[in-house]
Amino acid sequence: MFNEVKEMYAAIGVDVEQALTALAAVPISLHCWQGDDVGGFEGSDGALGGGLAVTGDYPGKARSIDELRQDLEQVLGLLPGNHRLNLHANYGDFGGKPVDRDAIEVAHFQSWIDWCARNNLGMDFNPTCFGHSKADDGFTLSSPDSGIRDFWIEHCQRSRAIGAEMGKQLGSPTVTNVWIPDGMKDLPVDRQSYRQRLSDSLDTVFAEKLDPAHNIDAVECKLFGIGSESFVSGSHEFYFGYAQKNQTALCLDAGHFHPTESIADKISSVLMYVPELLLHVSRGVRWDSDHVVLFDDATQQIMQELVRCDALSRTHIGLDFFDASINRIAAWAIGTRAAQKSLLLALLEPRKTLREAEISGDYTTRLALLEQAKALPWSAVWDEFCRRNDAPTELELLGRVKDYENDVLAER
């Protein structure tokens, strides 16, 4: 079957083996927070806050670092290819002791670095500027209170240093992504001062130059959140300008724009002005920005743009969703595989022919070929990729998830 499919693609000028090699070279950064509903391991049971909300109470959630690692190992076994771990600062190994956010150190993350080294994973990192009493009034780096700002500046500075050490030890740069929840439920009368303070705080956070071979800084915008419907300090325009001026990476989260706005069309523009891109592949549904990623038009269009713009080498692909209403391992695996399948489909496009049709004004051929590409048996190529990488094929996936649920999750 696979060989026939390969010939079919060869007939339209697509080299399947080349596509598989390219797919294998793209790691997806797995977000640790799908495993425990963004809880973390600080030992406090505080509210998540920051406009983040996780709904559902599916049994089997990871309650400790060991359980989260066990689950991640399971997920990694369900994914073809080599990936990365995206860790939030509140997931440190604090040994049961209270360590406030302005006191985190590399030592608290050493066991994660070691675990990643053993599992052949690169690491990405995030300061955690939510789920904390000092973020309860809705502001962190743009707060009018200088004491609050200083606290979060210290946390972000420490996070960058930790990110750099992760990247150094693992021999692959860590993307340290700053997202803050700052915003207002109702109409502000002084948007400007919040943005000025945010800009100043970020300048202090990024003042120390770190080796880009170890740490890459990224900033993440958002249009609105729960409780910040009218205003968010770190809007798209704000961070696009900031990233451009300071040449940091820009993070585009697929769920952080107007409900019908796609981040796919932004990629070719922002990459003209910022050096690198971080993607939070996610799925917005009405007011929620974090549903499990699907193999849908939005995800396919993002991956098409990365391939068509030849942007894979300048893009870090991460995921950002959390669903507690279904098996969390399934959520992780299905969402990640959906991103990978979308990338594969993009890599299997007859790019040269499509471009020739477009440039010569033959839009009929362009449209026909794009429709044709969807109907080709690309899923046989995906299953082959899974088999070569010792991962379950599409039809085998659910059984594997259910086995783990019965053997491990049901005992929790």
For residue 59, is it left (φ>0), alpha (ψ between -120 and 50) or beta?
beta
Tell me the C-alpha distance between 229 and 139, whole Å: 14
Q: How far is CA 313 from the centre of its chain?
A: 16
152 binding ligand RNT? (CB under 6 A): no
Catalytic residue among 42, 253, 276, 349: 253
Find, among 137, 106, 155, 119, the residue nearest to 32 by Cα. 119
- Chain positions 17 to 76 lying near ligand RNT, rule: CB under 6 A, are 33, 38, 52
Which of 33/382 has CB closer to ligand RNT? 33
Is 179 catalytic? The answer is: yes
Encoding tokens for residue 185?
A: 């439920």
Which of 14/38 has CB closer to ligand RNT? 38
Closest CB to ligand RNT: residue number:
179
Tell me the C-alpha distance between 261 and 264, whole Å: 9
Catalytic residue among 71, 182, 217, 288: 288
What is the DSSP code string of 326-373?
S-HHHHHHHHHHHHHHHHHHHHTS-HHHHHHHHHTT-HHHHHHHHHHH
Is 229 catalytic? The answer is: no
Site string for ligand RNT, 97-136 (x = CB under 6 A): -----------------------------x----------
Which of 217/253 has CB closer to Zn ion? 253
Of 289, 299, 327, 336, the residue at the interface with ligand RNT (CB under 6 A) is 289
Is 405 catalytic? The answer is: no
33 binds, among Zn ion, ligand RNT, none (CB under 5 to 8 A by kind): ligand RNT
Size, binding site for ligand RNT by CB under 6 A: 11
The packing angle between helices 110-118 and 146-170, to 10°, is: 30
74 binds, among ligand RNT, Zn ion, none (CB under 5 to 8 A by kind): none
288 binding Zn ion? (CB under 5 A): no
Residue type, 195: R
**Residues 314 and 277: beta-carbon distance below 8 Å:** yes
Return residues touching ligand RNT (CB under 6 A): 33, 38, 52, 126, 179, 220, 222, 253, 280, 289, 320
Catalytic annotation, residues: 179, 220, 222, 253, 256, 280, 288, 290, 320
